[in-house]
Amino acid sequence: MEDKTVKILALLIISSIFFGIVGMAGYLFWTTYKRESTCNEYTSGNTQKIKEMILDESISADYGCPFPFLAYSTKIGDTDMVKFLLENNAKVEKKFTYKNPKSTPYKITQTPLFYAIYSKYEQKKIDFPMEINNDFIACLELLVQNGASLETSCGREYSQKATDSLKTVYRNQSPDTQTAREIIKLIDNKLLNSFATKH
């Protein structure tokens, strides 16, 4: 009788562990799928699902795809989304790390404000259309009004494998320890210059 009870208990424990693992795997799969599908819609211009997920706390206002929503929304001049994120406690000075492809021997650590400004510098540098309009400036204004600083510097962290000569090559390009204000000077755009003068 005791042997039978022990076997039943053992089976119950094993089955509960099994279903627990399967349930956890299913949950992780579903949440990952939900986030990724939502990110795809967000980058396609549909921000409504992102807002719903932030409001029901499925994701944080600082979540990103891979860049934080606040950084990406500022970059594209989405003032409505930037306001929403700030109202839902997105952190304006929270740094995030962007790791370049393996061919580039460094990681860049930046704030949403720096990312938005530096992305314009990169567009100018490689001859992509660089659109700096009033919506973009309005997003930058919102960040500054909520505590972002033009003096926060970018950080570039090199991999241990990077040679000194390679580091020198990359140090001659922006950014390394430049601030957002210094990148604005390099861009030399009328709207951005006016924004920097005010702040």
124-165 per-position pLDDT tens digit: 878 777 889 999 999 999 999 999 999 988 888 888 777 888
How many residues does the structure list for the chain? 199
Beta bridge partners of 106: 158
Burial class from Cβ neighbours inside 10 Å (0-12, 13-18, 19+) for residue 6 reads exposed
Alpha-carbon span 143 to 160, nearest angstrom? 34
Q: What is the pLDDT of residues 24-38, one digit of tens each?
A: 655 455 555 555 666
Alpha-carbon span 127 to 83, nearest angstrom? 30
pLDDT tops 90 at residue 114: yes
**pLDDT band, residue 88 (cuts 50/70/90):** very high
- Tell which wins on pLDDT, 88 or 8: 88
